[in-house]
Each structure stands twice: as structure tokens, then as C-alpha cells.
């Protein structure tokens, strides 16, 4: 019996709770779907799997700005920011096996399971891609170990230029920190997935996310102005 047949019929839509949405002004909403629905999509669909690794961080920037969490992303070969992961060929791999294979090339020492699954969304554009997203909370020590391991991975300096931590705070100029980070260029659904995870996992209040996104849409200060307001 095939995998899809063994899963049985899809439950009636009336019995399913509504899937969470991002709901942040200025960020286009992507269509959510359940893992079950995603697995029933036909062979014409491609599946991408990416993961957010994060850890509570008690540190204080300048002794007064709470860091809250350390969240890992990557600077890619094309100059875009993204999460570790990639496309998974469903003919040969489960989602998690395919994801772990890619993570092994870029990070080295981490394996995710279905328990780390967070969400799936249909992407915009001409290509039929469903983007699956995973999130794993680690200790700060475990996360630092992964950062060190990533430097020695096969993809470091090739497809991956290095790991970066996402600043989750906003400085008093209302641009420093998360707003400036969000003004960078992101690959595919990475920016949406970052904001979605920060909201769903209660890592940043929704109103703070909305403020950070809105700040990126205001005219930017000059580099000289920024240099004068480091804190």
C-alpha cells in the first residue's frame, strides 16, 4: 500500500482548526496548508525544507538591551539571507531525511525530526513549490557548537558564506537591530518564514514585528547619521 493511500482520506475541513497566518501589514501573506495536505500534492510540486535553529539568550547588548534569543540564518553564495536547508526529492527522501541530508552539508552536527515541523506554505510565482519550515530550540551552548561546526562543513565558503544571528531588538532610533536586518535581501520565503516563526513561537510581540516592518518602509538615514547613533 502506498504512503498516500495508507494515510487515509483527508478529514473534513469543518473539523480542522484554521491555520495561523502572519497578519503583519506590509508583508504579503502566503497560503498555509497542513503537512497532510502538502503530502497529498501531486508529482508536479516541488518541496523545499528549511530550519530555524534558536536558543534563549540572556545576554544584554551594551548592558541594557535584552538579546532575548539567538536565531541562526545564513549568508548565501548569492548574497541573499536564508535559512539552512534546500529542496527535497520526495521520490527518494522523506521531508526530514532530505532536510537532514542538506543540513549535514551546511551545518554538520544537527538532525531534525517531524516533532520540529512548524508550518507549510505555497509559494508565489510560476513554480509550483511548497515550502516546509522547521524550528528547533537549543541551549545557547548547543547553538554555539553548531556555529563552530558550520565553519568546518563542506559548504562553508562555497554555497554558504557564513552563519549570522538575527537581532531581535529595536534600538531607540527605531531602525537599529531587527528593522535594519529586515531591510536586507532574503531568498524566496525566508523573510516570511522568519517573521512567521517569531510570531508563532512568541519570540517577538506581533506589534513589534509590525513596527519593525513598517520602519523598513520609511526613508533611510544616511550612513553618517547612523554612525552618530550607535546605541
Asked whether the predicted pLDDT for residue 62 surpasses 50, the reply is: yes
Task: Compute the average pLDDT of residues 8-37.
Answer: 78
Tens of pLDDT, residues 159-199: 999 999 999 999 999 999 999 999 999 999 999 999 999 99
Q: Is 217 helix (H, G, I), strand (E, B) or coil?
A: coil
188: alpha, beta or left, given left = phi > 0 and alpha = psi -120 to 50? left
Q: How many domains, the chain?
A: 1
- Residue 95 falls within a domain, yes or no? yes
Q: What is the DSSP string of 74-86?
A: EEETTS-EE-SEE
pTM for the model: 0.87
pLDDT reading at 59 higher than 50: yes
Q: How confident is the model at residue 127 (pLDDT cuts 50, 70, 90)?
A: confident
Q: Which residues contact 133 (CB under 8 A, 6 or more apart)?
A: 49, 50, 51, 52, 83, 117, 118, 119, 120, 121, 193, 196, 197
Would you say residue 114 lies in a domain? yes
Contact (Cβ atoms closer than 8 angstroms) between residue 176 and residue 170: yes
Sequence-ordered strand ranges (E) for the chain: 31-33, 46-61, 65-76, 81-82, 85-88, 117-122, 129-137, 160-165
Read off the CATH number of the domain in which 189 is found. Answer: 3.90.79.10
pLDDT of the residue at 15 = 56
> Mean pLDDT score of the chain, rounded to an integer?
88
29 within a domain of the structure (yes/no): yes
Does residue 165 belong to any structural domain of this protein?
Answer: yes
For residue 223, being part of any structural domain is answered with no
In a domain, 3, yes or no: no
Chain centre to alpha carbon of residue 170: 19
> Mean of the pLDDT values across residues 18-43?
91
Tell me what pLDDT residue 110 has: 86
Reported confidence tier of residue 206, pLDDT bands at 50, 70, 90: very high
Q: Is residue 142 part of a domain?
A: yes
Residue 94: inside a domain, yes or no? yes
Residue range 144-161: mean pLDDT, rounded: 92
Quick one: 74 exposed, middle or buried, by C-beta within 10 A (0-12, 13-18, 19+)? Answer: buried
Range of the domain at 64: 25-216
Amino acid at each position: 500500500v502506498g504512503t498516500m493511500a495508507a494515510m487515509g482520506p483527508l478529514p473534513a475541513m469543518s473539523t480542522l482548526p484554521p491555520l495561523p497566518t502572519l497578519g503583519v501589514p506590509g508583508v504579503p501573506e502566503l497560503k498555509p496548508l497542513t503537512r497532510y495536505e502538502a503530502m497529498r500534492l501531486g508529482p508536479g510540486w516541488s518541496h523545499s525544507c528549511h530550519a530555524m535553529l534558536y536558543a534563549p539568550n540572556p545576554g544584554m547588548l551594551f548592558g541594557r538591551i535584552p538579546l532575548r534569543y539567538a536565531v541562526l540564518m545564513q549568508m548565501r553564495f548569492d548574497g541573499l539571507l536564508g535559512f539552512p536547508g534546500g529542496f527535497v526529492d520526495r521520490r527518494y527522501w522523506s521531508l526530514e531525511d532530505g532536510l537532514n541530508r542538506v543540513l549535514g552539508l551546511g551545518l554538520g552536527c544537527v538532525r531534525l525530526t517531524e516533532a520540529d515541523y512548524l508550518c507549510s506554505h505555497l509559494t508565489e510565482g510560476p513554480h509550483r513549490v511548497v515550502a516546509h519550515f522547521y524550528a528547533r530550540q537549543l541551549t545557547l551552548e548547543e547553538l554555539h557548537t553548531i556555529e563552530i561546526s558550520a565553519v568546518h562543513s563542506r559548504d562553508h565558503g562555497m554555497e554558504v558564506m557564513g552563519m549570522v544571528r538575527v537581532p531581535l531588538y529595536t534600538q531607540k532610533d527605531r531602525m537599529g537591530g531587527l528593522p535594519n536586518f529586515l531591510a536586507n535581501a532574503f531568498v524566496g520565503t525566508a523573510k516570511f518564514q522568519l517573521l512567521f516563526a517569531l510570531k508563532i513561537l512568541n519570540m517577538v510581540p506581533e506589534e513589534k514585528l509590525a513596527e519593525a516592518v513598517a520602519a523598513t518602509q520609511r526613508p533611510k538615514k544616511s550612513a553618517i547619521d547612523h554612525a552618530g547613533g550607535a546605541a
